[in-house]
């Protein structure tokens, strides 16, 4: 998993395909990083992602449950139309902030 920590903010650079296989490893690593660095904000960066199924939703929901207890937030950036559809359909869009960049 590629990630970056800046103060209390963790950015997770998601792989090309987020499924049950890639989600398992991501969950483990993300939880360790969140624990160690007192993370309050988690940013999911979908720049490289063109496939995600409900396992990805599980990853987002799970991290949200952890950090919302300390008043944290979950963000999505660079999500394409397909990813946004998945986020909306699953209800994940209601608990997270989706950063909309200008499409130029």
Partner 1 sequence: MKNTNEMEIRFDSRSENEGFARVAVAAFMTQLNPTVEEVADVKTAVSEAVTNAIIHGYEGEVKKVTIRCRIEENVFVVEVSDRGKGIENIEEAMQPMFTTLPEQDRSGMGFAFMEAFMDSLEVESSPGNGTIVKMKKTVGKGREIWTTQSL
Binding site for partner 1 (CB under 8 A): 17, 19-21, 24, 27, 51, 53-55, 57-59, 61-62, 82, 86, 89-90
Smallest separation (angstroms) from partner 1 to the CB of 20: 4
Smallest separation (angstroms) from partner 1 to the CB of 80: 10
Closer residue to partner 1 in complex, CB, 11/66: 66
Closer residue to partner 1 in complex, CB, 37/90: 90
Beta carbons within 10 angstroms of residue 92's beta carbon: 22
**Calpha distance 51→68 (Å, rounded):** 26
Could you give phi then psi for residue 65, rounded to 5 degrees?
-60, -40
**Calpha distance 1→23 (Å, rounded):** 10
Apex 95 CA angle, 23 and 17, nearest 5: 25
Closer residue to partner 1 in complex, CB, 9/61: 61
């Amino acid at each position: 998993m590629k990630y970056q920590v800046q103060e209390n903010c963790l950015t997770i650079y998601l792989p090309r395909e987020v499924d049950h296989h890639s989600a398992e490893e991501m969950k483990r690593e993300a939880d360790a990083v969140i624990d160690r660095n007192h993370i309050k904000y988690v940013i999911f960066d979908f720049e490289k992602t063109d496939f995600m199924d409900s396992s990805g939703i599980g990853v987002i929901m799970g991290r949200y449950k952890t950090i919302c207890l300390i008043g944290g937030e979950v963000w999505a950036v660079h999500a394409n139309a397909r990813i946004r559809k998945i986020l909306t359909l699953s209800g994940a869009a209601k608990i997270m902030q989706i950063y909309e960049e200008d499409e130029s």
